[in-house]
A and B are shown apart, each in its own frame.
Chain A
Amino acid sequence: MDSQLLNPTSLKSRFTARFLRALTKINAPNPISSSSPTPREIFQRYRRIKVAADKSMAYSVRSRTTWSRATLSRLRTRSRHRRLASFGPRSSVTTAAVLKKTSSHGKENEGGLGVQAGELRELVPGGEAMDLCNLLDETAHYIKCLTTQVQVMKTIANLYSLE
C-alpha cells in the first residue's frame, strides 16, 4: 500500500493539489522565515488555511453533494460579508427564512431520532433542509471527505515539521 501511486483523479489527489496550491499562495507573502510570527499573524493564517482546506475540499467534490454546495455558498457569502458589511444582516435573514420554509415539511418521519438528527443537521453543512434519508447519505459522503482531508493535512504537517 505504501508504494502505490494514487489515482490521479481521485478525491485525495484533487484535494491535495488544490490545497497545496492554496497553501503556497497563503505562505508566499511571508518572506521572513526566521522570525517567529506574532500570534495574530498565526491566527490569521490559521483562518485562511482552514478556509482554504474547506474550500478545496468542496471544490474537489464539485457540487455533487448538498454539503459541498452549502459550504461553497457559505464561504462565498462570508467573503462577501467581509467586503460589504452593510449587506450582511439582510442576506442572512433571507437565507434563514428560506431554510425554515424548506426544512419544515421534509422532516416528518424521523421516528424517535429527532434530537440526534437535529444535531447531525447542525454538523453537516447544508443539512437543515434535508430529510433523514438524504441526510444520512450526505453524512456518509461528508465523513469520507473529512477523513481524506485529515489524512492529507496530517501528512503535510508532518512533512513540514520534519524539515
Chain B
Amino acid sequence: MNRALPEMLQWQQQQQQQSYFSELSGVFRSQISHLCFDGGFMSSDSVVTREVKPDNNGLETAWPEPGKLEMGSLGLGFEFEPCGPSYNMNYAISGTSSCPPPAAAELVTGKMGSAVGTGNESFKKRKADKLQNSKAAVEDDSMKKIKAYEEDGESKITGPSNSNKSKHKKENSKASEVQKPDYIHVRARRGQATDSHSLAERVRREKISERMKYLQDLVPGCNKITGKAGMLDEIINYVQSLQRQVEFLSMKLAAVNPRLDFNIDNLFTKVEEFPAVQVVANPIHYLHFNPAQEVVSETALRRTISAPVTIPDTSFLDSSCFAQIQPSATWDDVELQNLYNAGRFH
C-alpha cells in the first residue's frame, strides 16, 4: 500500500497540465466507452461491493490525497478491493498512472483488459459524454446526482484535499450504477465549472456541434469552413438555393409540359432508373447554377412571376435567359445531359 504512495506524490507534483489529463481521459474515454467497470466490478463476486465501504474508506484515509487523485485521475471508478489479486492490480494500475500519458494509457488499458477478464462483467453501454459526475457532486450538492456510496466514500477525502481539487479534478470516476437513475449524467472536465446549469449548457453545446458536423456532411463544400457562423451561412445559402431550384423546376415543368401522353408507370420506372443528379459541389457555383440552367419560355412570363417568386439580387431573369420553347429545349437537353454525365461519372 505504501509503496505506491511516493510514486503518487511524485506524480502529483509533476503533472499539472490539462492536456495530460485530457489526453489521458480521452484515451480512457475511447477505450472504455463500451465498458462499464462499475457495473462489472459491482456484479462480480470477487470485486468490491457496497459492503466494503469501511475498507475503502480506510484505504483512502490512509493516504487521502493520492487516493483521491487516484479515483479522479484514473477516471474509471476503480473501487479499491479488499481481495488480493484485484487489489494488487488496482494498485498496479495506479502505479502506472504516473507514467507519461501514452505509456500510461497503454499500460492502463492493458491492465484494464485483464481486470475485465477477472471480474464478471455486465458492462453497460453508455455515451462518452454522459458519465456520472461524482466529484462535482461532492462539490456541489445542489446537483443531486450523487450516489450515496460515493458521497460516503469521498466526503472524507474532500476535507484534506479540497485545495487540490481544482487542480486535480479531471475526468471523474464513474460511479457504480446497479440501479439506473433517471438523470442525465455528464462528465465534468478539468478546470470547468460543475454546477448543473453549466453542465446542461455543455451538453447542449455538444449536441449542437454534433448536429453541425452532420450538416457539414450534408452540405457540399463545407469541409473547409470552420466555425459555426460560417457553417450556418453556408447552410442558409444551400437551403435557399435548393428552394429556388424547386421553384425553377416547377416553372419549367409548367412551361414544358403540355404534351403529356406518357404512360404513368413507364414514366415512374424511368424516373427511378435515372441516376441521381448531383447537386453541384462548388459552393459558389451553385449560387449561379440556377440562372444558367433554368429556362423560361416567354418574355411576358417575367412580369407575371416576378412578384411572387423571390428572386435574388443577381437577377437571372433578364432577357438573355429567355428563349422560345423549341430551341431552348435542345440547349437545355445538352446542359442537363452534361449534368447527368457529370453525376454518373462522379
User: Do A and B make up one complex?
Assistant: yes
**Cβ of A133 to closest chain B Cβ, rounded Å:** 5
Contact of B333 among A39, A139, A144, A161 (CB under 8 A): A161
For A89, the chain B residues whose CB sits under 8 A away are none
Over the window 102-138 of chain A, the binary record of Cβ atoms lying under 8 Å from chain B Cβ atoms (1 yes, 0 no) is 0000000101110011011001100000001100110
Question: Chain A residue with minimal CB distance to B233?
Answer: A116
Are B229 and A153 in touch, CB under 8 angstroms? no
Complex formed: what's the CA distance from A47 to B247 in Å?
Answer: 9
**Cβ of B7 to closest chain A Cβ, rounded Å:** 43
Contact of A155 among B212, B277, B333 (CB under 8 A): B277
Q: Which of A138-163 contact B (CB under 8 A)?
A: 139-140, 142-144, 146-147, 149-163
Stretch from A2-10, A58-66, A74-82, A90-98 forming part of the interface with B: A2-10
Is B235's CB within 8 Å of the partner chain A?
yes
**Cβ of B209 to closest chain A Cβ, rounded Å:** 10
Q: Which of B221-268 contact A (CB under 8 A)?
A: 228-229, 232-233, 235-236, 238-240, 242-243, 245-247, 249-260, 264, 267-268
Is A86's CB within 8 Å of the partner chain B?
no
Are A1 and B276 in touch, CB under 8 angstroms? yes
Interface of A (DSSP majority class): helix
**Cβ of B234 to closest chain A Cβ, rounded Å:** 10
**Cβ of B171 to closest chain A Cβ, rounded Å:** 25
Q: B interface, how many residues as a size bin?
A: 35 or more
Is A40's CB within 8 Å of the partner chain B?
yes
Complex formed: what's the CA distance from A77 to B216 in Å?
Answer: 34
> A137-B211, A159-B270 are known contacts. Are A143 and B238 too (CB-CB below 8 A)?
yes
Are A133 and B249 in touch, CB under 8 angstroms? no
Complex formed: what's the CA distance from A45 to B305 in Å?
Answer: 12
Over the window 269-291 of chain B, the binary record of Cβ atoms lying under 8 Å from chain A Cβ atoms (1 yes, 0 no) is 01111111101000000000000
Complex formed: what's the CA distance from A59 to B262 in Å?
Answer: 24
**Cβ of B229 to closest chain A Cβ, rounded Å:** 6
**Cβ of B226 to closest chain A Cβ, rounded Å:** 14
Are B253 and A39 in touch, CB under 8 angstroms? no
Contact of A23 among B253, B308, B336, B344 (CB under 8 A): B253
Contact of A150 among B235, B246, B253, B273 (CB under 8 A): B246
Question: Chain B residue with minimal CB distance to A17?
Answer: B268
Is A99's CB within 8 Å of the partner chain B?
no
**Cβ of A41 to closest chain B Cβ, rounded Å:** 9
Q: Which of A2-46 contact B (CB under 8 A)?
A: 2-3, 5-6, 12-13, 16-17, 20-21, 23-24, 27, 30, 32-33, 36-37, 39-40, 42-43, 45-46
Are B208 and A146 in touch, CB under 8 angstroms? no
Contact of A36 among B201, B233, B325, B336 (CB under 8 A): B325
Are A39 and B236 in touch, CB under 8 angstroms? no
Is B183's CB within 8 Å of the partner chain A?
no
Are A157 and B238 in touch, CB under 8 angstroms? no
Are B277 and A136 in touch, CB under 8 angstroms? no
Over the window 314-340 of chain B, the binary record of Cβ atoms lying under 8 Å from chain A Cβ atoms (1 yes, 0 no) is 000000000001000100110010011
Are A120 and B235 in touch, CB under 8 angstroms? yes
A-B contact pairs, 26 of them (CB 8 A): A21-B264, A33-B258, A36-B258, A39-B301, A40-B304, A46-B250, A46-B305, A49-B253, A53-B246, A53-B250, A116-B233, A120-B232, A123-B243, A140-B215, A150-B242, A150-B277, A150-B279, A153-B246, A153-B249, A153-B253, A154-B249, A154-B336, A157-B252, A158-B274, A160-B253, A163-B259
Nearest 3 Cβ contacts at the A-B interface? A116-B232, A46-B254, A45-B254
Given A153-B253, A161-B329, 14 further pairs, Cβ under 8 A: A2-B344, A33-B258, A43-B304, A46-B255, A116-B233, A132-B208, A133-B207, A142-B239, A150-B246, A153-B246, A156-B271, A158-B333, A158-B336, A159-B271
